[in-house]
Structures are given as C-alpha cells and as structure tokens.
Structure 1
Amino acid sequence: MDETNREPVDKTIKTRLYYNSSRAHTRLGNLEDSQALLHEGINWCIESEELHLLPALHYQIGYNYELMGDYAKALEFLDYSISLFELFPGHNYSTFLSEKRSHYLRVLDQPK
C-alpha cells in the first residue's frame, strides 16, 4: 500500500487553521488556548516561510491581551502587527490599527 503525504501542499491552509482556530477560542473566552495556537502559528509561519498571516497572528495576540486587561502587552503586539502589515502593500487596516493604538495609549496613560 502506498502511503500518502497528508501535509497540505498549500502552506496557507495550516496558517489559516491556526488563525481561525485561535479566533474561535478567543470568542469562546478560551484566551490561553487561543494564545497557544497563535504562538504555534507564528512559529509555523517562520519555519515554513509563509508570512502572509503573520501580522494578523500578532494582532490577535495583542487583542487577547486587551481582553485580559494587559494593555502594555497588547500595545507591544499591536506594534509588531503594525510593523508587519506595513510590509504588505495594500492592506486596509491603517486607520483601524492607529485608532486601536491611540486607545491603548490612553488607557495606559490613565492614573491607577
């Protein structure tokens, strides 16, 4: 019997699986599971040189930190995502990301 390689030829499939699974976990409130999948997705992107969703994976980590109330970490990952999105011409997220960044900075600037 001939064995078949079950690894998808299109590397974006696995990247999208990490991303979409992590988003589902975020929506269900399973933030730790989401974070784990996102970090695995980032590692996969780097290993496979599949960088298309790398900015979105970083954004989602930041968003999870926002939901956890850790705005300093959220800002760190948002800044990573902004830098990465800038490498991909034609993305439509500049306004959204800059507004999100301003919001994080306002929250961090508030006295505790």
Structure 2
Amino acid sequence: MQTIALLFASNVFMTFAWYYHLKDTGMPLWKAIVLSWSIALFEYCLMVPANRIGYGSGFSAFQLKMIQEVITLIVFSLFAVFILKEAFHWRYLVSFALLLAAVWVMFKK
C-alpha cells in the first residue's frame, strides 16, 4: 500500500508539473519550464522510493509501470476536468476500461 500511496502522490506532482502551465498560455516558455522542473523535483523524490519499495516487496518492473499508468490516468482525468475545465467523454471511460483489463491480465497468475 505504501508503494501505491507514493505513486499516487508523485503523480499529483507530475500532472501539475507537466500540465498546470497550460492554464496560463501567456507565460513565457522559459518560466513554464522552470516552474515544471521545480515541481517535478518533488515528483522524483516520491517516484524513486515508490519504485524501489514496490520492486523490493515483490512487484515486477512491468507491474509497477502498469500501476503507474493507471494512477496517472486517474489523476490526469481529475486534473483535466477540475483544473483545466475540459469535458470528460464516454470514450475516455471505454479507453480506461480497456487499460484496466490490461492491468487485470498483467496481474493474472
């Protein structure tokens, strides 16, 4: 559970680092880059331990990556809807369901 919590927290920082600057398209590119890298430092400080702990506790690298992607989609979806005010379409739900099916296959013994 510690791995999942760290991955979730790191993804919140990652999503803000990669996409928050889109709210202010008038910001100079260099400022957006500096802001993004400043936020991304915290993402790395959480992501690296999450992967080390997860790998050491029995997750494979493939499983860690798949978990990461699912968490990323959840965090990004909430960010896009609530921060960027973008519409959420039914086809996104279908896409997510297919990705969850991939996760199920990944963890199936």
Question: Quick check: TM above 0.5?
Answer: no
Higher helix share: 2
* Higher relative contact order structure (alpha carbons within 8 Å, sequence separation ≥ 6): 2
TM-score band by shorter chain is 0.3 to 0.5
Q: What is the TM-score of this pair, normalised by structure 2?
A: 0.38
TM-score normalised to structure 1 length:
0.37
